[in-house]
Amino acid sequence: MEISQLFEAMEKVAASLRFPLDGVDAVRMITWSAADTIPSIDHASVSLTTRTGEIQTLAPTDAIAARADVLQYELHQGPCLDAAIEEPIVQVNDLRDDPRWPVFGPKAADLGLRAQVAFQFRADPHVRGALNLYANQPHSIGQDDRLLGLMFANLAAVALGWSRHATSPAIVLDPREEIGRAVGIVMERYQVDPERAFAFLVRISQSENIKLREVAAKLVADTAPEPN
């Protein structure tokens, strides 16, 4: 995509920023974009708990993510369950061999999943959620992937109205990530908040059928200062 085409697409999408985003639709965009953007990640979902102790999956990217979540609920073990209930971040580098989940791990590997990371967010002490990210390759989730995953988890928290536990301004302050910089550019250009700026980039990615990270890279490159 040429820069001129990118800005033409941006103008087409800009009007949508005036309208409120439905929470479920926003979370669906977040899981889709996480799987599309984070290099090691192939599947994503969100797990939500309630005050009554129930847990359910929201916005899985595909049947594999949905099945992996349900397996963890049924077996009462697994990274997404631990993150949704107890730990802030839970990562496993090889599901087939990790002793923490001796039943779930091999079953997940049979689905083609080999690594996983889950990020907790919460509304109050009894209502929590987790962003679940799954990889098809073992030992593939690195530090940069975790940073991007944390950004998407914060966005999911905000989209669900749990913003007091999310650090949404931080998603535009990390200079190491092009997506964060692109969000900041859109915020400044259209005077919108981080969540709406991110949704704006996702819609361009979907409407133009190009990777979100490619949209971000082109936008950042076009707005970079000219060398002296």
Q: Does position 224 have pLDDT exceeding 90, yes or no?
A: no
pLDDT in tens, 137-184: 999 999 888 888 887 887 777 777 654 334 333 443 343 467 778 888
- pLDDT at 132 (0 to 100): 96
pLDDT in tens, 187-208: 888 887 776 777 778 777 777 7
- pLDDT at 149 (0 to 100): 86
Residues with Cβ < 8 Å from 95, sequence gap 6 or more? 101, 104, 105, 106, 108, 109, 113, 114, 115, 116, 138
Continuous segment of H or E residues that includes residue 38: none
The model's pTM: 0.69
Q: What is the rounded average pLDDT of the residues 51-61?
A: 85
Output the CA angle 113-50-69, nearest 5 degrees. Answer: 10
Dihedrals φ, ψ of 36, to 5°? -80, -30
